[in-house]
């Protein structure tokens, strides 16, 4: 029995370290997709075999300049654009474009449950156009008005693309399921709109 317990603990540690890990969501930056207090399950192996794709929800180690608290290391956001993509927002058009393809983000951008008002795709209607460097990602929270993401850090840094994007090497893994609370269990899939991006 003691040997079985030791083996079970070792296996659990190996799985947590190298394969799967759960993460607690501490804020509302990914609402309504993820709620504060949710727990998500993250695949830590998948990006050993390929890079993150547009539309995926990822956990990554945030750059120091992104952190309001130096201890807040792990962030969770949605990948909007990958290396080589041009991502932009035009207030007149009212949507984010990736490589000229307009994204229909209505399935995941935050909608106030009381008023029904949906966030703008870019907070305060801020317009931008950025070409993402190779090996880096442009990430945004689904609750655009409450997310310290690529757009926010692009503005704060004086429109530095390097500061606004994160390296692929900082990605911990892909969040693929909400596992807690049980009432909110579901898979986290890529929204259909990303399929048309050239």
How far apart, in whole angstroms, are the C-alpha atoms of residue 129 and residue 98? 10
How far apart, in whole angstroms, are the C-alpha atoms of residue 17 and residue 187? 22
Name the strand (E) or helix (H) holding 162. Answer: helix 161-164
How far apart, in whole angstroms, are the C-alpha atoms of residue 169 and residue 51? 9
Which of the residues are catalytic?
29, 77
Joined tokens for residue 80: 């909007």
- Decide: residue 153, CB within 10 A, 0-12 exposed, 13-18 middle, 19+ buried: buried
- Closest listed residue to residue 98, CA positions, set 128, 126, 125, 64: 128
CA gyration radius, the chain: 18
Q: Say if residues 189 and 174 touch (Cβ distance below 8 Å).
A: no
Joined tokens for residue 147: 């997310």
């Amino acid at each position: 029995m003691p040997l079985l317990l030791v083996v079970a603990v070792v296996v659990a540690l190996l799985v947590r370290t190298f394969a799967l890990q759960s993460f607690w969501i501490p804020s509302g930056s990914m609402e309504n997709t993820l709620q504060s207090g949710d727990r998500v399950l993250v695949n830590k192996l998948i990006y050993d075999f390929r890079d993150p794709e547009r539309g995926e929800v990822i956990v990554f180690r945030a750059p120091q300049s992104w952190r309001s608290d130096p201890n807040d290391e792990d962030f969770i956001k949605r990948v909007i654009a990958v290396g080589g993509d041009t991502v932009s927002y035009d207030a007149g058009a009212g949507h984010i474009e990736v490589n000229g393809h307009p994204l229909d983000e209505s399935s995941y951008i935050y909608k106030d449950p009381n008023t029904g008002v949906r966030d703008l795709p870019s907070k305060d209607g801020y317009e931008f156009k950025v070409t993402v460097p190779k090996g880096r990602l442009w990430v945004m929270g689904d609750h655009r008005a409450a997310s310290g993401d690529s757009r926010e850090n692009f503005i704060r840094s004086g429109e530095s693309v390097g500061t606004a994007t994160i390296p692929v090497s900082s990605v911990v893994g892909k969040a693929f399921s909400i596992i807690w609370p049980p009432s909110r269990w579901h898979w986290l899939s890529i929204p259909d709109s990303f399929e048309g991006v050239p």
